[in-house]
A and B are shown apart, each in its own frame.
Chain A
Amino acid sequence: MKGACALRVRSRIAAVLAMALACGPARAHLQTSGMGPVCDGLAHFLTSPEDLVPALALALLAGLRGAAYGRSAMFTLPAAWLLGSLAGLSAAVANAGTLGASFWFLLLGGLVVADAKLSLRSMTALCAFLGLVHGYLNGSGMGLSAAAIVAALGLTAAVFVLVSLVAALVVQLRAPWARIAVRVAGSWIAASGLLMIGWSIRGV
């Protein structure tokens, strides 16, 4: 029974991830902060909701599941993000577009709302997948250069710090209402995803 449930969760995740992977042509979008490539990477992550919110949702999810999940997320996600960025540097410019970002919002927000009992392995795989996809999309917008590699390191550092802080914060929460508040935050993320999908479909 438990195995079947886990299988169902995994197959649903796989289906949504497949949709999230459907990338369309778009534009490069690494910001120029004027303060060097490290800051360009940091600024890009912190000012791009399509990158920031899924990472935040994953940190919330990992935190809800406990310290081991938090540790897994804080190392796997940035590492995968860096690998994805480096792989994307020499690729043609790509972007998941609003629809791709919306699916991530919906998936990860939904998992937080449900307080999904993912196995540690599934969580690690989810982190790796999110990191690789988003890293690749970020990298493809930067172009192959030394500055882009440094920017990717800055971006990775931002992901690491965010996931560490948020996951640890949620792990510490013991009061039931506080955990509910985290799940409510997940519902907002999922709702934002739904709204974005609606806008995409209506062509707004």
Chain B
Amino acid sequence: MVVPGLARYVVAALLILLAGLPAAQAHESRPAYLEIKETAPGQYALLFRTPVLAGRRLPLVLSLPAGVKELRAPVVQELTDSLVERRWIDAGPDGLAGQRVDIKGLQFTITDALVRIELLDGRTVQTIARPSQPWVEIAATQAWWEVMGTYATEGIRHILFGVDHLLFVLGLLLIVGNRWMLVKTVTAFTVAHSITLAIATLGVANVPALPLNAAIALSILFLGPEIVRVWRGETSFTIRHPWVVAFAFGLLHGFGFATALTSAGLPPQDLPLALLSFNVGVELGQLGFVLLVLAMERSFRVLEIRWPRWVEALPGYAVGTLGAFWTIQRVALLIAAWR
């Protein structure tokens, strides 16, 4: 076992902590999107999209600098998964350069807002407003590596706070039998979710969020009984070929990762770079998690810690229980939405 009993206690404790995060339901922390486009000197068209889940909209309000005038009445459009607000403003002869646009209410959420600013001189700036800094400043030109950094960071955050994805990876770690199989399994998961992340982000295919989330929860629940089989010394197709299961369910998880980008509604010209850097971020976060689990397991072995049997079983039960909980919760949401 790559992750034998010793590692399980701490992993379980970490999981319990992580499960307590408000962001525990990865796809419910989809980012908002703000686009600011300069249409004439000092005049801008704003598009502000906030995600809606189960009929609830994030309570975010755009706050523009003093002195900004509305050129015409704002238009609000309700979509199934988001609420889109369009505004047209005049910021005077100096425009919005050096000014700050606040997203009020963001500090009380667990989500980010992707911001894209297009100026008349051809400059494009992409940045992220976060709960810890719920505003953006219209500033200088952004180099391509800064854009990459922005989306790579978003990818890392998305996987590290998408506890369901991490729990699935942990379940795989508990099943795989040796290091070579671990490499195969993690690679299969990576390849699979990269494929569907690209497909969904490029708009080739799309999966509605509610059934997708329920299916992702089901993939975690699926691993629970397999972990128990490993404990009992039994075997199954999943235990013999975990990489196949990782690949199959990885396709689902990739659609889940894509919600962070597609729900933002990014312009087509930004997609390749955003997709690449976001995926790099996701892989870095996933690799970091796997390495941390392996390092902890090795530490426990070196420090010769012997855990009680019930402690060893905790991570497996955490995977199964949380998988079951999320499955029930998300299926209930799905049924409620259908009604």
Contact = CB atoms under 8 A, between A and B. Distances in A.
A153 B22 CA distance: 15
A39 interface: yes
A35 B110 CA distance: 6
B21 A171 contact: no
A202 B298 CA distance: 46
B303 A74 contact: yes
Interface in A65-89: 67, 70-71, 74
Given A67-B304, A164-B300, A168-B299, A38 B132 contact: no
A161 B296 contact: yes
Interface residues of B, number: 27
Interface string B94-128: 00000000000001001000000000000000000
Main secondary structure of the interface of B (DSSP, over half): helix
Contacts of A172: 302
Contact of B21 (A32, A34, A36): A36
Given A67-B303, A153-B17, A33 B22 contact: no
A30 B296 CA distance: 27
Contacts of B298: 168
In this complex, the interface size class of chain A, counting residues with CB under 8 Å from chain B, is: 20 to 34
Nearest to A75: B305
Interface in B10-35: 10, 13-14, 17-18, 20-23
A77 B185 CA distance: 36
B131 A35 contact: yes
Interface in A26-49: 32-36, 38-39
A70 B300 CA distance: 10
A36 B23 contact: yes
A120 interface: no
Interface in B111-168: 130-133, 157, 161
B295 interface: yes
A164 B130 contact: no
Contacts of B292: 161
B18 A71 contact: no
A204 B189 CA distance: 54
Given A36-B21, A36-B23, A38-B18, A168 B303 contact: yes
Contact of A39 (B14, B21, B303, B304): B21
* Residue from B130, B300, B304 with most neighbouring chain A CB atoms (10 Å): B304
B161 A35 contact: yes
A161 B303 CA distance: 13
Nearest to A33: B132
Interface string A157-168: 100110011011
Given A32-B132, A35-B161, A67-B304, A165 B296 contact: yes
12 contacts: A33-B132, A34-B132, A35-B161, A38-B17, A38-B18, A70-B302, A71-B303, A150-B17, A164-B296, A165-B296, A165-B299, A168-B300
Interface of B: 10, 13-14, 17-18, 20-23, 107, 110, 130-133, 157, 161, 292, 295-296, 298-300, 302-305
Interface of A: 32-36, 38-39, 67, 70-71, 74, 150, 153-154, 157, 160-161, 164-165, 167-169, 171-172
Shortest 7 CB-CB contacts between residues of A and residues of B: A34-B132, A34-B131, A168-B299, A168-B302, A164-B299, A70-B303, A36-B21
